[in-house]
């Protein structure tokens, strides 16, 4: 009798833990995820570029065959555009919104590190360097993308870097 009781309590606890994990997750269908309107209080300009893949010798040929057609011919995943941004939005929040709006793939985990935009992941290039970096007003930022709060008129540029100091 006592053993049965313990078993039932353990079973209920396991079910409760699973349910709480399940409810803590935010499930969205593909359409819902990409259904985002860019609304906000002030304007910033935004750009996402992977131009270095095309300009660095051998970088494009080094990509896998299934990835090559996904790289835009002009090297611009998101051409320079003025977008609306909400107060207290960080660069990462804005990037997430724009990628969802433009149906661009984006990997930014819970550590807020942007490892891939538009299927172009970090460390693809043969020297294992490479990855996404961002500039604000022409200067490489010293903060993580989630820590930089946007200000009125900021000019944000995301670049894929293949070699040191190439952006």
Partner 1 sequence: MSRLERYNPLVIFIYFMLAIFIVMFSMHPVIICISFIASFALSLKLEGVIKIAKSLIYILPMIIIITLTNPLFVHKGATELFFINGNAITLEALIYGLAVSLKLSSIIYWFRVYSYIMTSDKVVYLFGKVSPRLSLVLSMSLRFVPLYVKKFREADDATRALGGYATSNIKDKLLAKLHVFSIVFSIAIEGAISTSDSMSARGYGLGKRTNYHNFKWLWTDTITIIVVIILGVLTSVIMALGYSDFDYYPLIDSIQSSALSVVSYISYLSLAVAAVAVEIKEGVTWHILKSRI
Residue 66 near partner 1 by CB under 8 A: yes
Least distance from partner 1 to the Cβ atom of residue 113, Å: 12
**Binds partner 1 by CB under 8 A, chosen from 20, 64, 128, 165:** 64
Q: Could you tell me which residues are beta bridge partners of residue 43?
A: 84
Burial of 99 (0-12, 13-18, 19+ CB in 10 A): buried
Q: Between residues 42 and 60, which has the closer beta carbon with respect to partner 1?
A: 60
According to DSSP, the β-strands at 139-140 and 155-161 are unpaired
Site for partner 1 in 15-44 (CB under 8 A): 25-30, 32-33
Q: Which of 95, 99, 92, 102 is nearest to 145 (CA)?
A: 92
Residue 119 class from Cβ within 10 Å (0-12 exposed, 13-18 middle, 19+ buried)? middle
CA distance 119 to 158: 15
Give the x-and-dash track for 95-114 against partner 1 (CB under 8 A): -x--------x-xxx-----
Our CB check for partner 1 shows the closer of 50 and 136 to be 50
Residue in this structure with the two tokens 């051409």, named with its chain if needed: 79
User: Residue 106 is inside which H or E element, if any?
Assistant: strand 106-108
**What minimum distance in Å lies between the beta carbon of 30 and partner 1?**
5
- Residue 121 interacts with partner 1 (CB under 8 A)? yes
The least distance separating partner 1 from the CB of residue 55, rounded to whole angstroms, comes to: 22
Binding residues vs partner 1 (CB under 8 A): 25-30, 32-33, 64-67, 70, 96, 105, 107-109, 116, 119, 121
């Amino acid at each position: 009798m006592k053993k049965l009781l313990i078993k039932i309590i353990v079973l209920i606890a396991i079910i409760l833990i699973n349910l709480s994990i399940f409810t803590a997750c935010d499930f969205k269908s593909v359409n819902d995820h990409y259904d985002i309107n860019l609304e906000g209080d002030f304007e910033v300009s935004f750009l996402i570029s992977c131009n270095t893949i095309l300009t660095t010798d051998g970088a494009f040929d080094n990509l896998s065959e299934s990835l090559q057609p996904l790289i835009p011919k002009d090297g611009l995943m998101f051409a320079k555009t003025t977008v609306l941004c909400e107060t207290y939005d960080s660069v990462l929040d804005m990037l997430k919104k724009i990628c969802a709006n433009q149906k661009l793939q984006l990997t930014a985990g819970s550590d807020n590190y942007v490892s891939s935009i538009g299927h172009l992941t970090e460390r693809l290039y043969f020297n294992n360097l490479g990855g996404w970096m961002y500039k604000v007003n022409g200067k490489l930022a010293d903060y993580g993308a989630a820590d930089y709060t946007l200000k009125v008129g900021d000019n944000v540029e995301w670049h894929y870097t293949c070699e040191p100091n190439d952006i």
